Amino acid sequence: MNIVFVGHVDHGKSTLLGRLLHDTGNIPKGKLEEIKERCRKNSKAFEYAFLLDALKDEQSQGITIDTARCFFTSKKRDYILIDAPGHIDFLKNMVSGAARADAAVLVIDAHEGIQENSKRHGYLLSMLGIKQAAVCVNKMDMAKYSEKKFEDIKKEFSAFLSKIDVKPKAFIPVSAREGDNVANRSKKMNWYKGMTLLQTLDSFIEAKKLDKKPFRMPVQDIYKFTDLGDDRRLIAGRIEEGSVSAGDDIIFYPSLKRSKIKSIEMFNSPEMKSFGSGLSTSFTLTKEVYVQPGEIMCKTKEKSAPQCGHAFHANIFWMGKEPLVANKEYKLKLGTAKTYAKVKSVNRVLDASSLKVNVAKLQVDRHEVAECTIETIRPIAFDAISDCEATGRFVLVDSYEIAGGGIITGASKNGRPELKEKVQMRDIKWVKSGIKASKRLAKYGHKPQLILITGKRNENKIRIARKLEELLSNKGYPAYYIGIRSVIYGVDSDIRSAERYREEHLRRFAEVLNILLDAGLTVIATASDLHEDDIEKIKTIIEIHKITVALVGDNYFVENLVDLEIPKDREPIDAARTILKYNNVIKK
């Protein structure tokens, strides 16, 4: 279990750590005597903190400047104690995932009382989402072991902590120097009936073992077997939490595609039946589904699903040379997912070196931690950091460098509306044409419909589409051909970047198609490289109209969404006639 010790300088953190190690027998034999002897020779008063320094080999520096760890074992379990005076490194490590504390001990000097810094430390814990904490009121010897002094501090500090949603498990009056209530119960404070520091540490609840947590595997890649006649696909990734077995029902987020694990495959090793966290592996599925790298694979049976959406609340530690500003686009990497994201609002900013909190800042400077709301361009799946470490953490990239690390504290309801909601809103706001659809039908003699031609790039699609338009027009259909390019360079001229805004290009393209269909036309549209989810989106947008999906060239779809396959070397006229036949426009 990892425990971080925080507190104002000189309030006795290192002494407390040294004392704890000593009183629990975690100091190597002879070390104490060796240091005492050294102190005597140098006419220096012995400090328990030296024990710690000696262990860390940093005695010369007087104070520890980096996040330092020491190991310690109680009767109950092993601990890593993190001494964190260097806030910048500590915050960076905590937010980036290099270090993680399960609980915190906050040290306050009874003599000096609560300092501004003590409050900032409390706030720090709340920002890092550390839920378990204990407060040691130290140097009780200097406060004459006064119950009143202790109670006053406890009252004032509890009131502050409750405001920031930190509920300490215990307030413990201790003297690190004298060893009161550290590992041994104090005889000088009989009025205190609570736990010692050691008992408190042992009472903290351990995080569940990763294997026992709900299954999470961010999809790294999808491979295809290349052996002749073998068209199985492998879904590959690293199992972050939980475990799976062949036969388990699974679901991918955010696409919500479902399937079942057929087999678990490992390169160069015999077939395995089940697998647990920390391992990279790949799966074959009983039913092929279209999923993309970046999705999170989960088990259907497990209740705790990741959240999906465009927006979440996060605490970001910023390291970038340029400040983090609202509404600028950054690349966001979360698990294996990559997308672009903007900070929609900066709520509170904490200076990591002074720990000062600023609620009025609009940007986040280097070495500041900020509570923000993030909005992503694409919907993504994520967890709150308290639910899953690996999928509750992300980095922001600015100008090709990692400029910030963040932990997700929860989903935000104020994200952009999902596609379905957008379509609903459009339908509500749509001012209908004065001419009824039935009247148009009577005039044209044909219901509006969409023939969507896709396939890899440069596969003759446009020539086929134009031929089809000609043939349909000759037959009296109100045919109209449109390629996605016409939309990208017109309607979409504000968002050129094809890669970054792929989703939005597609959405607008489908909206344009929808208008043409509403006008009663027989629309022939082309767009390269459409996939299952693209087709589903287009179908959501054009809702009520009939659609035929024709695919030119290799069929790369894994789900059955293609109505018609057309070989890539087929003459446009023949291909167009095949489509007409499929739609019963011509007989042979």
Q: Which two tokens stand for residue 244?
A: 């799976």
Euclidean distance between the first and the last CA atom of the chain, given in angstroms as a whole number: 74
* Residue whose C-beta lies closest to ligand GDP: 12
Q: How far is the CB of 293 from ligand GDP (least distance, A)?
A: 46
Torsion (CA) 163, 165, 170, 172 in degrees, nearest 10: -50
Which one, 15 or 118, has the nearer CB to ligand GDP?
15
Q: Which two tokens stand for residue 41?
A: 């020779």
Instruction: Give residues in contact with ligand GDP (CB under 6 A).
Output: 7, 9-15, 47, 49, 138-139, 141-142, 175-177
Q: How far is the CB of 340 from ligand GDP (least distance, A)?
A: 43
Which one, 139 or 342, has the nearer CB to ligand GDP?
139
Distances (CA, A) of 454 to 219, 483, 553, 578: 26, 10, 9, 15
- Write out 381-396 in H/E/C secondary structure: EECCCCCCCCCCEEEE
Which one, 177 or 233, has the nearer CB to ligand GDP?
177
Determine the residue type at 334. Answer: L
Which one, 196 or 259, has the nearer CB to ligand GDP?
196
Element (H, E) at 31: helix 31-41
Look at residues 137, 136, 141 and name the one whose alpha carbon lies nearest to residue 178: 141
Look at residues 24, 25, 50, 28 and name the one whose alpha carbon lies nearest to residue 38: 50
Q: How far is the CB of 353 from ligand GDP (least distance, A)?
A: 16
Which one, 53 or 295, has the nearer CB to ligand GDP?
53
Q: Which residue is listed with tokens 């906050």?
A: 106
Q: How far is the CB of 2 from ligand GDP (least distance, A)?
A: 19
Which one, 184 or 304, has the nearer CB to ligand GDP?
184
* Strand pairing report for 296-299 and 217-224: antiparallel
Q: How far is the CB of 202 from ligand GDP (least distance, A)?
A: 21
Q: How far is the CB of 160 from ligand GDP (least distance, A)?
A: 20
CB contact at 8 A, 265 and 298: no
Which one, 175 or 514, has the nearer CB to ligand GDP?
175
Q: How far is the CB of 136 from ligand GDP (least distance, A)?
A: 9
Q: How far is the CB of 45 from ligand GDP (least distance, A)?
A: 8
Distance of alpha carbon 165 from alpha carbon 156, whole angstroms: 15
Q: Which two tokens stand for residue 528?
A: 């390269």
Which one, 135 or 521, has the nearer CB to ligand GDP?
135
Determine the residue type at 39. Answer: C
Q: Which residues contact 42 (CB under 8 A, 6 or more apart)?
A: none
Q: Which residues contact 451 (CB under 8 A, 6 or more apart)?
A: 465, 468, 522, 523, 524, 525, 547, 548, 550, 579, 583
Which one, 142 or 564, has the nearer CB to ligand GDP?
142
Q: How far is the CB of 204 from ligand GDP (least distance, A)?
A: 21
